[in-house]
Amino acid sequence: MSEQFIELYIHIPFCVRKCLYCDFLSFAADDVTKEKYVDALCRELECMGEERRDASLSSVFIGGGTPSVLPADHIRRIMDCVRESFCLQSDAEITIECNPGTVTDEKLRTYRECGINRISFGLQSVHDDELKTLGRIHSFGDFLAGYRSAVNAGFTNINVDLMSGCPGQTEGSWRETLEKVCSLDPAPVHISAYSLIVEDGTPFGEMYEDGDLILPDEDTDRSMYHLTSEILSHYGYERYEISNYSKKGFECRHNKGYWTGTEYFGAGLDAASYLDKKRYVNTSDMDSYLRDPAGVRVLVESLGKSDLMGEFMILGLRLTKGVSGSEFTERFGADIHDIYGKEIARFVKEGLLEEEGGYIRLTERGLDLANRVMQAFI
Amino acid sequence: MDKSLIRNFCIVAHIDHGKSTLADRIIEKTGLLTAREMQEQVLDNMDLERERGITIKSQAVRTVYKARDGKEYIFNLIDTPGHVDFNYEVSRSLAACDGAILVVDAAQGVEAQTLANVYLALDHNLDVFPVINKIDLPSAEPQRVKDEIEDVIGIEAQDAPLISAKNGIGIEEVLEAVVSKIPAPTGDENAPLQALIFDSLYDSYKGVIVFVRVMNGTVKKGTKILMMATGASEEVVEVGYFGAGRFIPCDELSAGMVGYITASIKTLSETAVGDTVTEADNPCSEPLPGYKQVQPVVYCGVYPADSAKYEDLKEALEKLQLNDASLFYEPETSLALGFGFRCGFLGLLHLDIIQERLEREYDLDLVTTAPSVVYKIYKTDGTVIDLTNPSNLPDPSEIEHMEEPIVNAEIMVTKDFVGSIMELCQQRRGRYISMEYIEAGRALIKYELPLNEIIYDFFDALKSRSRGYASFDYDLKGYEKSSLVKLDILINKEQVDALSFIVHADSAYERGRKMCEKLKDEIPRHLFEIPIQACVGGRVIARETVKAMRKDVLAKCYGGDITRKKKLLEKQKEGKKRMRQVGSVEIPQSAFMSVLKLDDDN
């Protein structure tokens, strides 16, 4: 099932310092390593381009880590390589993740010049004490400066990441974070608002185990989450996914691809790919990657029909629009109710799912308890 | 066989004072085995026993010692379990001996268990001589310990051998003392057969192997024997004695000898410990004294965590019982836990051991219900029932009164902890009997305690309140009338039978409250609010609520995450499968176990 378009994710595993909650692969590195990494990345991109000559790229997402820790010319080289190796659609969405503490006017200008048209700022909070608790390297002031630079450089499609449920956070401080960000001029067109997940293997994970991490209780956490949709909707943002909100027309196309089964290449250390119903992941060992960047992809799982149907449900239900019955039939040649009728009926009865206009979606309550629903489909 | 050259003896000691090590040295020095043949601890041959440092089943070994007087002596060393759960077995092993070596740790001195074991040996008219072990420890105080033995136990100790079993110091002296201080057996080999069963084990080739001490008469191949208490009768296939770790056949066993008999006996229940073996055609006039039918003291429900494993559990219990006649079980069903067994044990340690063997040797995942003692229910119609499962308690209107088992407990503790130990005993409804200082700084406290107050977590509480220094021993005293009630737990308004238990009326509220609190932590949030109630006779005495679940969602799921997030969901789903469904509530297995530990002090 080769589609005409494909997405590309590029992983930059570097940051100035790792945040205490982060479980992505990233670390601090010297300039030589960065240089070598970008060399390797370009080699991998070239090979990928060879692999799928038929497909054009509909989106590129440079994530991390912190892509903005790389010198501007590294990003330029990467983008040049992308253009040379792939057929990049003219209206492709090209995003780069930035840490507010690492952007400069020069970097932002370069991004703009090499065709990047979307910036994602990891802000998390407008309160410096909360930022410190999370282990962020920047202040709210740094963010304001970076945001202003991005706007000046010509970026209009800007996302801001925010985090609720953080240690020390209150409903009041969270409200303030949301309101200050929505009141930026110009306001960001996209906001990702996550509720903190304490992951094993992170410093937060350890602190939590030891009882040293005091988090808002479940009820407060949920109040914050509900406050989020309330305030953001007041400011004209629409929720389109469990944690993602945007002004009309500014949904992140790249991420939506993940939730709708679009194929994607993942380039770089530990990056994941989804090609021809198979999921792959690259090595997480830097030396191996630098040695042979195009030969380190490992098959993780090969999806059969029932896996594909399950993924269609669990990923599709993340979108507030829900999953479309007719699309299910189109993809799998079966009626969604013949396959999942029992589960759907149960969750509708429990008030976690609702069915309307050919779509099945999570209710407001279902969004809070999405795992319970999703479990039934795997 | 010249009886004057036989010595039948055992070693008594507090746990860890070096009984098994001394046994090893005796076997080694008597030379029947080369050092190479020695297993590290010959007498303890089950892994579990070795790990716990205790001996579960008594065994015996025969060795030959060439003494300084130039004669060769036969030593029958009979090992005894060192725990109160197996008191009856200990008493039968002691009855098979003529003397005992008392091992006392040169640093620790006399402990509660030492006393209990010595008194038991003295009760059986054994000649007891002490040895002081671990004299090579820097903290050893042999003179103090000798004095203590004389003061507290009242046996001569000044010439006690000073030894280190671990390092092989002083072992010769012990062997000579066995010859000189332990009397040779008496008895008439021509009288009718009279042999005491002190243990038996099941062997898949030979059937039941009966361990006996012959008191009078002679037994050999072809003798038609009769077990006087069980009435079983078979023809002897083989007799022999105990080599270290193996059975060595011989022609006959006569008065004074210790050995084994096989007679194509198929179940252990036919060869009860303490029973008397005699000749069917020429029986002795009276059985040996002291036989008791062993009764379980503690019961609990044992269920497979995965209900599909019921048959496996059944098979495992059958196999265990082949080697442990004191394990009792019968099928039982629970609304909450499905099909399982009500099992009876000699005590908590026995329960622990069986549970661990089931899990370890048979690879079973188990859910056990709160252990319960046996209550006597006197009904208004004049009948009496032994209640082993709280769920079977008759309606209160049919009950005239109830009785619970009481134990005599002896606790030995250094004086700093006397206060807190007494406080603990009071809390557990103990009745103070006496306290005496057995030496400067150490006291022996005696209490009468209801058995059901010590089966949950008394040992743990004792240890934590004495920083590990208290030692404890008890034996059953009898039954006493008591004000008892059944505490029921309702989860989401439905009674969970597996969580019911009997409790003293005065502690019902406290226990109910703690149960509810504990369950509140154990039961995961559901889509709806779940009330947890503790009830006595239909009246709610405590209540907690598990709030409805508000959040169960993965905030993020992007391209690199999908496989991992799917695994996470699968894991969650698996976890739910392992829960027990009670009405519409899913209860984790751990909830059934956690309520057993309710003491705040731990």
What does the pLDDT look like over A18-33, one tens digit per residue?
889 988 888 888 999 9
The percentage of residues in chain A with a pLDDT greater than 70, rounded to a whole number, is: 99
A16 touches chain B (CB under 8 A): no
- Same domain? For A22 and A116 the reply is yes
Identify the CA nearest to B413 among candidates B462, B455, B474.
B462
Q: Supply the DSSP symbol for A284.
A: S
The percentage of residues in chain B with a pLDDT greater than 70, rounded to a whole number, is: 92
What does the pLDDT look like over B216-272, one tens digit per residue?
999 999 999 999 998 999 999 999 888 766 777 888 999 999 999 999 888 888 888
- Same domain? For A137 and A220 the reply is yes
* Residues in CB range of B127: below 8 A, 6 or more apart: B98, B99, B100, B181, B182, B183
* Beta strand A118-124 pairing with A87-98: parallel
B573, containing H or E segment: helix B562-577
Give B-chain residues touching A221 at CB under 8 angstroms: 550-551
- Same domain? For A196 and A343 the reply is no
Give A-chain residues touching B550 at CB under 8 angstroms: 218-219, 221-222, 368
Nearest-CB residue to B556 (from A9, A243, A281): A243
Q: Is the pLDDT of residue B563 over 70?
A: yes
Looking at B153-288, list the stretches that DSSP marks H as alpha helix, in order from N- to C-terminal side: 171-181
What B337-340 contacts at long range (C-beta under 8 Å, 24+ apart), as own/partner pairs, is: B337/B301, B337/B303, B337/B367, B337/B369, B337/B498, B337/B580, B337/B592, B338/B303, B338/B307, B338/B310, B339/B303, B339/B307, B339/B310, B340/B301, B340/B302, B340/B303, B340/B304, B340/B310, B340/B313, B340/B367
Contact assessment for residue A260 and residue A308, using Cβ atoms and an 8 Å cutoff: no
What does the pLDDT look like over A256-308, one tens digit per residue?
999 999 999 999 999 999 999 999 999 999 999 999 998 888 999 999 999 99
A318 touches chain B (CB under 8 A): yes
* Residues in CB range of A173: below 8 A, 6 or more apart: A125, A127, A130
Give A-chain residues touching B570 at CB under 8 angstroms: 375, 378
Enter the tokens of residue B465.
């309140």
What does the pLDDT look like over A126-179, one tens digit per residue?
999 999 999 999 999 999 999 999 999 999 999 999 999 999 999 999 999 999
Contact B563 A9 (CB under 8 A): no
- Same domain? For A241 and A364 the reply is no
Give the DSSP per-residue string, A10-48: EEE-B-SS--TT--SS-B---HHHHHHHHHHHHHHHHHH
A300, part of any domain = no
- Same domain? For A319 and A239 the reply is no
Contact assessment for residue B60 and residue B257, using Cβ atoms and an 8 Å cutoff: no
- Same domain? For A68 and A213 the reply is yes
Q: Is the pLDDT of residue B448 over 90?
A: yes
Nearest-CB residue to B553 (from A271, A350, A371): A371
Domain of residue A92, CATH code: 3.20.20.70
What does the pLDDT look like over B2-19, one tens digit per residue?
899 999 999 988 877 888
B485, containing H or E segment: strand B484-491
Residue A227: Cβ-neighbour burial (10 angstroms; 0-12, 13-18, 19+): middle
Contact B560 A195 (CB under 8 A): no
Tell me, what amino acid is at B97? C
Contact B573 A195 (CB under 8 A): no
Tell me, what amino acid is at A376? A
- Same domain? For A124 and A236 the reply is yes
* Mean pLDDT, all residues of chain A: 93
A368 touches chain B (CB under 8 A): yes
- Distance CA(B372)–CA(B194), nearest Å, equals 38
- Same domain? For A322 and A255 the reply is no
Query: In a mutagenesis test of the A interface, which of B525, B526, B550 is the best target, namely the one with the most A β-carbons within 10 Å?
Result: B550
Tell me, what amino acid is at A179? E
pLDDT, residue B191, reads 95
The percentage of residues in chain B with a pLDDT greater than 90, rounded to a whole number, is: 47
A295, part of any domain = no
The CB-side HSE value for B491 (13 A sphere, CA atoms) comes to 31
Give the number of domains in chain A. Answer: 2
Q: Supply the DSSP symbol for B426.
A: H
Domain ends where: A259, A285, A319?
A259
Contact A197 B556 (CB under 8 A): yes
What's the rounded mean pLDDT across residues B65-73?
A: 89
pLDDT, residue B593, reads 75
A161, part of any domain = yes
Interface residues on B facing A, Cβ-Cβ cutoff 8 A: 525, 527, 547, 549-563, 566, 569-570, 572-573, 576
Q: Is the pLDDT of residue B319 over 90?
A: no
Torsion of CA B105, B106, B108, B109, to 10 degrees: 90
ipTM of the prediction greater than 0.85, yes or no: yes
Give A-chain residues touching B574 at CB under 8 angstroms: none
Instruction: Give the minimum alpha-carbon distance from A197 to chain B in angstroms, rounded to a whole number.
Output: 7
- Residue range(s) defining the domain that contains residue A321: 305-378
Q: Is the pLDDT of residue B384 over 90?
A: yes
Domain ends where: A259, A290, A318?
A259
Find the residue in B nearest to A25 (Cα). B560
State the pLDDT confidence band at A312, using cuts at 50, 70 and 90: very high
A32, part of any domain = yes
Domain ends where: A236, A259, A282?
A259
Domain of residue A324, CATH code: 1.10.10.920
A281, part of any domain = no
A266, part of any domain = no
A178, part of any domain = yes
A96, part of any domain = yes
- Distance CA(A16)–CA(A34), nearest Å, equals 12
- Same domain? For A248 and A310 the reply is no
- Same domain? For A316 and A246 the reply is no
- Same domain? For A200 and A322 the reply is no
- Same domain? For A152 and A20 the reply is yes
